[in-house]
Amino acid sequence: MAEAYLVGGARTPVGRYGGALATVRPDDLAALVVGEVVRRADIDPGLIEEIIFGAATQAGEDNRNVARMAGLLAGLPDHVPGITVNRLCASGMSAITMAAQAIRAGDADLMIAGGVESMTRAPWVQAKPERPWAKPGAQFDTSIGWRFVNPKLAARDKATFSMSETAEEVARLDGITRLEADAFALRSHQRAAAAIDAGHFVDEIVGVPTQKGEVLVDEGLRRDTTLEGLAALRPIVAGGSVVTAGNASSLNDGSSAILVASGEAVKKYGLTPRARVVVGASVGLAPEIMGLGPVVATQRALERSGLDIADLGAIELNEAFATQSIACIRRLGLDEEIVNRDGGAIALGHPLGSSGARLVVTLLARMERENAGHGLATMCIGVGQGSALILERV
């Protein structure tokens, strides 16, 4: 079986909802990182055999296969195909896993995988009436959350919890307090601030041209965050006590991509691999405890790889919520010092389709900087799933 290698990656800065990237279309964000990955690898773009991109919304400017649009907009030859996948929060990670699987199967040698989301530009959608000339149906914001819920699913207890409700459920199950959640959020901002000041993200990021100038830095960080300020925020869920806007990730815009290559392509084109894909895993679990998805996914990935938790030198865990992040760290017995050392989604942001690929781009840099032999990227997924990807530095 062929091996799959990650040659290099690039990402945009993560923009706030309605922030610096609000005027940039998601297909343009995707095209930017696709083109940058090709440029950094210094390869003929015509050699790319497929673009696989994740996107969670796909209801607006990212419609009709944004992966294909990204390739065309990036100037790749018309013969380079593209496919868009959707696993909600883990869409970008699934794109990378699928590319690695294709290469291992011998179906391709060079692929670009990643993800994109503009939660700012995600449109409103409205149900069409079932009868001609009837009044318009319900309207929904596609930025996040449920829409057009199937009544049969809604009838299942807790199955259609909001994301915040699932985070409260995990806090209740694992006895996580408001103070613990707020302290975790504060640390995310502190670590992200230190990473930005140290220039840790500079090589990951490709600047995004906008009407107001080039955007080069992640926008979500709040340097003035304090425990006192976090404690003053009201819970999001009615009757809840732990989850607030301060200890949860935000709505964001961004895109990330990685070049995935076979060993043969690495040799033939003189590429420099940064990591080997060891294994990827995705799992399902009860929707109301979706935040625990990384626990099950990581356990499955470790079992398949023959590795142990102690073998992992760097871990990127998507911080959808502080409560579920804390629960995953405790249940897996992770060393907190190697989890999200440069901060996580609570500080940096969570542009849904991009986040899984962003984790991997950041993990590659961390593994090199911290001399980690193996690394893990893992995340929870709405409606009760989890994904994990284990890499080996080469």
Residue tagged active-site, from 189, 200, 350, 374: 350
Query: Which one of the listed residues 89, 189, 200, 374 is annotated catalytic?
Result: 89
Measured from the Cβ of residue 104, the count of other Cβ atoms closer than 10 Å reads 15
Indicate the SS3 state at residue 393. strand
Is 380 an active-site residue?
yes
CA distance 373 to 232: 42
Catalytic residue among 200, 328, 374, 380: 380
Residue with tokens 């140290």: 198
- What is the C-alpha separation between 368 and 363, in angstroms, rounded? 9
Residue 328 among the catalytic residues: no
Nearest alpha-carbon partner for 48 in 114, 115, 113, 111 = 111
Compute the distance between CA of residue 102 and CA of residue 1 in angstroms, rounded to an integer: 11
| Residue 20 CA, distance from chain mean position | 19
CA gap 388, 394 in Å, rounded = 19
Torsions phi, psi for 169 (to 5 deg): -60, -40
Q: CA quadruple 318, 321, 322, 326: dihedral positive or negative?
A: negative
Catalytic residue numbers read 89, 350, 380
